[in-house]
Structures are given as C-alpha cells and as structure tokens.
C-alpha cells in the first residue's frame, strides 16, 4: 500500500500538518514531531517491512516538505508555482553543485588557485634558507666567521665546559624528592 506522503501532488503543508500562513518555527516543530515519530532508525525491532516502508516514505516526504517550506526562497517558489518549481529550486542548491556531481572543474584546477601562490612563496623561502646555510658554511670554512664572538665569555669553550660541570654537580647533589608518608 503506497503512502499518501510519497505522492508529489499532496501539499507540503498537509504533509507537515500546518497552515499555509505558518511561520518557520511552526514548520520546524511540525517537522521535528514527524521526524521523531517516523524516522526509520526509531522503528521497533518487531516492525514489519510494510511499516518500515511507510515510515521511510513519511520521513522522506516530511524532510522534503521541511526543506522547501523551511527556506523562504524555496517556499516562495512553491507557493507561486507549485511543487515542481520548488523541487527544481532544491536541485539547484549547494548540495547538487557541479563539483559534487563530477561535471565541474577537476580538483587540481580548483585547488591550484589557493595552493600555487602558497607553494611559490614556500619555494622562495626555502631557497633563501638554503642560500644562507651554504653562505654561512663557506664563511666558516674561509675563516670569515672566526672570532666574531671572541669578546663574549659566555661562548668560550671553557665557559661552556664549566657550566656543564656545575649543572652535573647540582643534579647529583640534590636528593631525590620523595612524597611524604601517610600518617596512620
């Protein structure tokens, strides 16, 4: 037995059980009530195939009615031209855009607009870093960088060795912290 909810000639307002001048909140509440009652996942385990089919049909019709009547543009098209105009306006929504159906541009053409400048900038930065690294290496080997920090005692090898020894003695001389024993 076919449900009257799956018939496209049945008014969406009747499906949701609301008046034609109902506001969005009333439409939303009516849809939620139908969705709670007829959602296929909420069926009992003892539901028959006919009950499941009926619930699926009611839920599908209520979802479509809510999608059309819950959107002011789709609702205006439905009120003015009927259910077929509203259904075609639903088909032109973001869910059915060309990039979802495979008729649009390939992914790499869409993504290249954002990624190519970013990859170009990354290449320039990488080239600059590599140049500075090679230049520093050549300056070290030629002796141009030797002694630049000689006036700073904190960079001398003796000072570094002294700090390491001091830190090791501090670590070894500090007793391990033990948690206090519970009194009892």
Neighbours of 113 (CB within 10 A): 9
- Higher pLDDT, residue 13 or 107: 13
Q: How is the chain classified by DSSP, letter by letter?
A: ---GGG-TTS-HHHHHT--TT--HHHHHHHHHHHHHHH-GGGS-TT--HHHHHHHHHHHHHHHHHHHHHTSHHHHHHHHHH-HHHHHHHHHTSGGG-HHHHT-S--HHHHHHHHHHHHHHHHHHHHHHHHHHHHHHHHHHHHTTTTTTTTT-GGGSHHHHHHHHHHHHHHHHHSPPP-PPPPP-
Domain coordinates in residue numbering, the chain: 4-101, 107-173
Per CATH, the number for 4-101 is 1.10.287.110
* Overall average pLDDT of the 84-99 stretch: 58
Residue 136 and residue 157: Cα distance in Å, rounded?
21
pLDDT band at 30 (very low <50, low <70, confident <90, very high): very high
Is the dihedral angle over the CA atoms 164, 167, 169, 171 positive or is it negative? negative
Element at 129 (helix H, strand E):
helix 107-142
Given a contact cutoff of 8 angstroms between Cβ atoms, the answer to whether 18 and 26 are in contact is: yes
Q: What is the mean pLDDT of the chain?
A: 78
Q: For the segment 36-88, what is each residue's pLDDT rounded down to a tens digit? A: 888 888 888 888 888 888 888 889 889 888 988 888 888 888 888 877 766 66
- Higher pLDDT, residue 152 or 65: 65
pLDDT of residue 183: 66
Residues in Cβ contact with 106 at an 8 Å cutoff, skipping those fewer than 6 apart: none
pLDDT of residue 4: 44
Q: For the segment 137-151, what is each residue's pLDDT rounded down to a tens digit? A: 788 777 777 666 656
pLDDT band at 127 (very low <50, low <70, confident <90, very high): very high
Lowest mean pLDDT among 34-38, 128-132, 133-137, 147-151: 147-151
Given a contact cutoff of 8 angstroms between Cβ atoms, the answer to whether 4 and 58 are in contact is: no
pLDDT of residue 5: 47
């Amino acid at each position: 037995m076919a449900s009257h909810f799956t018939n496209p000639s049945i008014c969406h307002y009747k499906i949701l059980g609301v008046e034609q001048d109902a506001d969005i909140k009333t439409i939303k509440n009516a849809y939620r009530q139908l969705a709670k009652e007829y959602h296929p996942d909420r069926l009992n385990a003892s539901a028959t195939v006919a009950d499941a089919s009926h619930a699926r049909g009611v839920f599908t019709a209520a979802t479509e009615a809510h999608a059309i009547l819950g959107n002011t543009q789709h609702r205006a098209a439905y009120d003015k031209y009927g259910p077929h105009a509203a259904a075609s306006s639903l088909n032109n929504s973001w869910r059915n855009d060309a990039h979802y159906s495979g008729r649009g541009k390939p992914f790499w053409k869409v993504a290249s607009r954002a990624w190519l400048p970013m990859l170009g900038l990354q290449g320039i930065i990488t080239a600059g870093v590599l140049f500075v690294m090679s230049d520093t290496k050549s300056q070290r080997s030629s002796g141009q960088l030797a002694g630049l920090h000689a006036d700073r005692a904190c960079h001398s090898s003796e000072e570094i060795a002294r700090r390491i020894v001091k830190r090791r003695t501090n670590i070894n001389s500090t007793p391990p912290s033990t948690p206090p024993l519970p009194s009892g």
